A and B are shown apart, each in its own frame.
Chain A
Amino acid sequence: MKFRTTIGLEIHVQLKTKSKMFCRCDNESDKAKPNTNVCPRCLGMPGTLPVANRQAIEWTIKTGLALNCKINEKSKFDRKHYFYPDLPKGYQISQYDEPLCRGGKVDLRSSIFGPRSVRINRVHLEEDAGKLIHKDGSSYVDLNRAGTPLMEIVTEPDINTPFEAKKFLQELQLIVRYLGVSEASMEKGHLRCDANIDVKDDKGRMSEIVEQKNINSFRFIERALLYEEKRLQEKYLDWPKGKTKVTRGYDSKKDSTYEQREKEEASDYRYFPEPDVPEIEVKSEKLAPSKPEGLKVKSNGIDIEKIKAEIGELPEDIRKKLESFGVAEDIREKIASAPDHARYISDAKKVSQSLASWITNEVTAEIAAQKIRYEDYKNNVPITHLSDLLALVESGKISKNSAKGIFKEMVKSGKRAVEIIKESGLEQMEEDSGLEEIICEIFKKNPKEHQRLVDGDEKLIGFFMGEVMKETGGRANPGAIRSIILDIKQKKKG
Chain B
Amino acid sequence: MADQNSKLYQLTLKKASEKLKSGEISSLDLTKAVFERIETVEPKVGAFITLTKELALKQAKESDKRRVAEKTLSEIDGIPIAVKDLFCTKDVRTTAASKILDDFIPTFESTATQKLWDAGAVLIGKTNCDQFAMGSSTETSAYKETKNPWDLKRVPGGSSGGSAAAVSADMCMAALGTDTGGSIRQPASLCSIVGLKPTYGRVSRYGVIAMASSLDCIGPMTKTVEDAAILLNILAGEDESDGTTLPIAVPDYQKSLDGNIKGLKIGIPKEFFGEGMDPEVDKIVREGISKLKNLGANIVEVSLPTVKYALAVYYVIMPAEVASNLARYDGVRYGHSKAKSEKRKAKSLEELYIDSRTEGFGDEAKRRIMLGNYVLSSGYYDAYYKKAQQVRTLVKRDFEEAFRKVDILATPVSPTAAFKFGEKSGSPLEMYLSDIHTVPINPAGVPAISVPAGFTSNNLPVGMQLIAPQMGEEKLLNVANQFEKIAGITNIKPEL
Chain A contact residues, CB within 8 Å of chain B:
40, 43-52, 79, 81, 83, 85, 88-91, 141, 268, 270-272, 275-278, 294-299
Contacts and interface: CB of A to CB of B under 8 A. Distances in A.
B32 to A, nearest CB: 31
A270 B376 contact: yes
A46 B96 contact: yes
Interface in B292-334: 320-321, 323-324, 326-330, 332-334
A85 B349 contact: yes
A276 B321 CA distance: 11
B284 to A, nearest CB: 36
Contact of A277 (B243, B326, B328): B243
B104 interface: yes
Contacts of B381: 270-272
A49 B377 contact: no
Nearest first, the 9 closest Cβ-Cβ pairs linking A and B are A90-B327, A270-B376, A275-B213, A275-B214, A47-B207, A46-B209, A47-B209, A44-B328, A40-B108
A49 B321 contact: no
B241 interface: yes
A299 B247 CA distance: 7
Given A49-B243, A51-B240, A272-B320, 5 more contacts: A45-B108, A47-B86, A48-B207, A85-B330, A271-B381
A297 B242 CA distance: 11
Interface string B71-95: 0000000000000001110000010
Contact residues of B: prevailing secondary structure:
loop
Contacts of B101: 46
B324 A91 contact: yes
Looking at B110, B208, B214, B324, which has the most chain A CB atoms within 10 Å of its CB? B324
B329 to A, nearest CB: 8
A178 to B, nearest CB: 31
A90 B330 CA distance: 8
B240 A46 contact: no
Given A46-B94, A46-B104, A272 B324 contact: yes
A270 B386 CA distance: 12
Interface string B361-405: 000000000000100111001000100000000000000000000
Contact of B321 (A52, A89, A141, A275): A275
28 contacts: A44-B328, A45-B106, A46-B94, A46-B210, A46-B329, A47-B86, A47-B88, A47-B205, A47-B209, A47-B210, A48-B206, A49-B210, A49-B241, A51-B240, A51-B242, A81-B324, A88-B332, A88-B333, A90-B324, A270-B378, A271-B376, A271-B381, A272-B320, A272-B385, A275-B213, A276-B244, A277-B243, A295-B240
Contacts of A276: 213, 242-244
Contact of B243 (A83, A85, A272, A298): A298
B333 A44 contact: yes
B107 interface: yes
A48 B334 CA distance: 14
A276 B86 CA distance: 18
Nearest to B373: A270
Contact of A88 (B328, B349, B373): B328
Contacts of B88: 45-47
B327 A81 contact: yes
A47 B332 contact: no
A89 B323 CA distance: 11
Given A46-B96, A47-B209, A296 B243 contact: yes
A290 to B, nearest CB: 14
Looking at B106, B330, B385, which has the most chain A CB atoms within 10 Å of its CB? B330
Interface residues of B, number: 45
A470 B349 CA distance: 76
Contacts, number: 108
Nearest to B327: A90
A45 B327 contact: no
Contacts of A275: 213-214, 244, 321
A276 B212 CA distance: 10
Contact of A83 (B244, B324, B327): B327
Given A40-B108, A79-B324, A50 B243 contact: yes
A276 B323 CA distance: 15
Contacts of A296: 240, 243
Looking at A81, A268, A275, which has the most chain B CB atoms within 10 Å of its CB? A275
A228 B373 CA distance: 38
Nearest to A299: B247
Contact of A272 (B242, B247, B376): B376
A82 B385 CA distance: 19
A423 to B, nearest CB: 56
B353 interface: yes
Contacts of A81: 324, 327, 376
Nearest to B86: A47
Contacts of A272: 320, 324, 376, 381, 385
Contacts of A79: 324
A141 B243 contact: no
A255 B297 CA distance: 83
Nearest to A46: B209
B327 A49 contact: no
Nearest to B321: A275
Nearest to B335: A46
A406 to B, nearest CB: 54
Contact of B328 (A89, A268, A271): A89
B332 A85 contact: yes
A278 B110 contact: no
A34 to B, nearest CB: 13
Contacts of B242: 49, 51, 276
B129 to A, nearest CB: 14
A40 B107 contact: yes
A334 B493 CA distance: 85
Given A268-B378, A270-B377, A272-B320, A51 B332 contact: no
A214 B406 CA distance: 60
B243 A51 contact: yes
A146 B240 CA distance: 21
A43 B377 contact: no
Contacts of A268: 377-378
Interface in B215-257: 240-244, 247
Contacts of A46: 88, 94, 96, 101, 104, 106, 209-210, 328-329
Contact of B206 (A47, A89, A277, A299): A47
A91 B327 contact: yes
A275 B323 CA distance: 13
B179 to A, nearest CB: 16
A52 B106 contact: no
A268 B326 CA distance: 17
Contacts of A91: 324, 327
A278 B244 contact: yes
A47 B334 CA distance: 13
Nearest to B110: A47
Contacts of B323: 270
Interface string B170-198: 00000000000000000000000000000
A81 B325 CA distance: 10
